[in-house]
Amino acid sequence: MRKFCCKYGKVKWLLLTISFVLFYTVTVETTNGTVSGIYKTNKGFTNMCYNDSLTLSRIIEFHFNAIVLDAHNDFLYQVYKRGADLGEYNTNTQSDIEKFWLGGVDVQFFVSWIPPEEVKNAKNYVLNQIETLKNFERKYSGKFEIAYSYDDINRIVSNGKLCGLIAIEDGVAIGSEVSNLDEFYELGVRYISITWNNTNKIASSGKDEFNNKNKSGLTEFGRKVIKRMDELGMLIDVSHLGEKSFWDIIALTKNPVIASHSNCYSLDQHYRNLKDEQIRAIAQSGGVIMINFNDDFLVKNASKIRKNTLKNSYPETLKEIYENNRNDRISFNSERLNFFDGLVESEGITVDNVIDHIDYIKNLVGIDYVGLGSDFDGGIKPPVDLYDVTCYIMLTKRMYERGYTPDEIQKVLGLNFLRVFKQVCG
Ligand SMILES: [Zn+2]
């Protein structure tokens, strides 16, 4: 295909013209529905004959043309904990607007996780966190905007801004009133993780079920919550849930469900990971599993093989690459990839361990049911070459090198989640 395009100039220009037209009308068919008009530029991979022998610069170009969506980020906790500012380049957080831009991230769910000391005050805590995010939106309106619908996402991404979405991690924020869901929905909350590590009024958690502390599953109140979430068009996040709760919800909900930051139990037997039957059930619902970058959920005995991230091992070099290229993300990624080349193979846990989980789901149920939910800024220990949100290019590059097609890479980077979002949230 590539040879054909490059040899015959007229054909090439004809294809370029067609691809320009397709930019406005392109439709990506998936097994579960249709996702329209979401390529960021007219240089989409499928229209540009990139199908073989990608050079490094083509991979970088492809990455920035694709929609990159991450379903789980805890930056809001860093605001609470240390007063971090989304619009400043923070040296002690894994995310901020500039880093998202350098990493090519277009769509980010910002999660309000409730720290133990705020559980009694959970609803107000969450309301404050949502207000904090909206203050950032006002302060950095040229660079950052919050989406409430699929059309919003499309518009914000097309305008070149970082698109934020709001989520709550732990249904404890709902308290005892189902009507709180309506309030959260109005404010923009588009998914809720039903539990965190502790059992709440809705359901028993993965940690508690695993430790035989509580295996009650979904409660009566929980059933009302799930039904109302379905009615509102709010995504149900099963990450952190116990198995009993999980199956109760699968039996009840009418919508596709998501796991916003969970991995495969078969690869790493951790209570936070999903068993094969659970992965199959999520796929059968039409949902998606978003892979977590925390090394404890990626490999067994992570603490024994864990090494310093490349950022910690080579702070001076990486600082220099950043300072010399901070206004040009193409050269930033190009220089850094060249520097990484040859460094990573013997370095403990790497991006390949993340792709192993993507591979596992792809082989078990198909490529349409997996995406990215890093858990950055939530206290995770990431792979050496995925140390912050500037590093998503590593996933694109390694997926390509491991034989993923451009289509498959785009699905993992964002299209799979967008399909589910469009179906449930509209
Ligand atoms: Zn979590």
- Rounded CA-CA distance 338/202 in Å is 49
Instruction: Examine the domain organization and report whether 84 and 61 are in the same domain.
Output: no
CA of 147 to the centre of ligand 1 (A): 22
276 pLDDT more than 90:
yes
The predicted structure's pLDDT at residue 344: 65
In order, the DSSP letters of 49-118 are T--S---HHHHHHHHHHS--EEEEE-HHHHHHHH---TTS--SSSS--HHHHHHHT--EEEEEEE--GGG
Q: Give the pLDDT mean for 238-261.
A: 98
Residue at a domain's end among 65, 88, 110? 65
Instruction: Examine the domain organization and report whether 61 and 72 are in the same domain.
Output: no
**What would the two tokens of residue 241 be?**
């849930």
**What would the two tokens of residue 256 be?**
């596709």
Residue at a domain's end among 48, 65, 82? 65
CA of 144 to the centre of ligand 1 (A): 24
H or E segment and range at residue 258? strand 258-259
The predicted structure's pLDDT at residue 33: 44
The predicted structure's pLDDT at residue 249: 98
Q: Does 329 fall in a domain?
A: no
The predicted structure's pLDDT at residue 17: 41
Q: Does 336 fall in a domain?
A: no
400 pLDDT more than 70:
yes
Q: Give the pLDDT mean for 262-286.
A: 98
CA of 22 to the centre of ligand 1 (A): 39
Q: Does 34 fall in a domain?
A: yes
Total domains present in the chain: 2
Q: Give the pLDDT mean for 302-328.
A: 95
- Model confidence at 148, pLDDT cuts 50, 70, 90, reads very high
25 pLDDT more than 90:
no
CA of 364 to the centre of ligand 1 (A): 24
CA of 363 to the centre of ligand 1 (A): 25
6 pLDDT more than 50:
no
Q: Does 33 fall in a domain?
A: yes
CA of 347 to the centre of ligand 1 (A): 26
The predicted structure's pLDDT at residue 243: 98
CATH number at residue 269: 3.20.20.140
Instruction: Examine the domain organization and report whether 91 and 4 are in the same domain.
Output: no
CA of 375 to the centre of ligand 1 (A): 7
Q: Does 378 fall in a domain?
A: yes
The predicted structure's pLDDT at residue 29: 40
- Model confidence at 54, pLDDT cuts 50, 70, 90, reads confident
Instruction: Examine the domain organization and report whether 354 and 263 are in the same domain.
Output: yes
The predicted structure's pLDDT at residue 170: 98
CA of 116 to the centre of ligand 1 (A): 13
The predicted structure's pLDDT at residue 341: 86
289 pLDDT more than 50:
yes
Instruction: Examine the domain organization and report whether 158 and 135 are in the same domain.
Output: yes
- Model confidence at 313, pLDDT cuts 50, 70, 90, reads very high
Instruction: Examine the domain organization and report whether 55 and 191 are in the same domain.
Output: no
Higher-pLDDT residue of 41 and 196 is: 196
Q: Give the pLDDT mean for 317-327.
A: 96
50 pLDDT more than 70:
no
pTM (2 d.p.) = 0.90
CA of 303 to the centre of ligand 1 (A): 19
Instruction: Examine the domain organization and report whether 18 and 79 are in the same domain.
Output: no
Distant-in-sequence contacts of 310-313, Cβ < 8 A, 24+ apart: 310/340, 310/343, 310/344, 310/347, 310/384, 310/385, 310/387, 311/387, 311/388, 312/387, 313/384
- Rounded CA-CA distance 141/192 in Å is 26
416 pLDDT more than 80:
yes
The predicted structure's pLDDT at residue 5: 35
CA of 422 to the centre of ligand 1 (A): 23
Give the domain range for residue 385: 67-307+348-425
Instruction: Examine the domain organization and report whether 140 and 196 are in the same domain.
Output: yes
- Rounded CA-CA distance 201/318 in Å is 46
Q: Does 163 fall in a domain?
A: yes
Furthest C-alpha separation in the chain? 69
Instruction: Examine the domain organization and report whether 216 and 163 are in the same domain.
Output: yes
- Model confidence at 52, pLDDT cuts 50, 70, 90, reads low
- Rounded CA-CA distance 47/51 in Å is 10
Instruction: Examine the domain organization and report whether 147 and 36 are in the same domain.
Output: no
188 pLDDT more than 80:
yes
Q: Does 324 fall in a domain?
A: no
Residue at a domain's end among 17, 49, 65? 65
CA of 94 to the centre of ligand 1 (A): 16
CA of 338 to the centre of ligand 1 (A): 33
Instruction: Examine the domain organization and report whether 263 and 379 are in the same domain.
Output: yes
Q: Does 327 fall in a domain?
A: no
Distant-in-sequence contacts of 59-62, Cβ < 8 A, 24+ apart: 59/393, 59/396, 59/397, 59/400, 60/330, 60/333, 60/334, 60/337, 60/393, 61/330, 62/396, 62/406, 62/409
Task: Determine the number of helices (DSSP H) and then strands (DSSP E) in the chain.
Answer: 20, 11
CA of 293 to the centre of ligand 1 (A): 11
Instruction: Examine the domain organization and report whether 279 and 379 are in the same domain.
Output: yes
- Model confidence at 58, pLDDT cuts 50, 70, 90, reads confident
pLDDT tens-digit series, residues 128-145:
999 999 999 999 999 999
H or E segment and range at residue 422? helix 416-425
DSSP classification of residue 241: B
The predicted structure's pLDDT at residue 312: 93
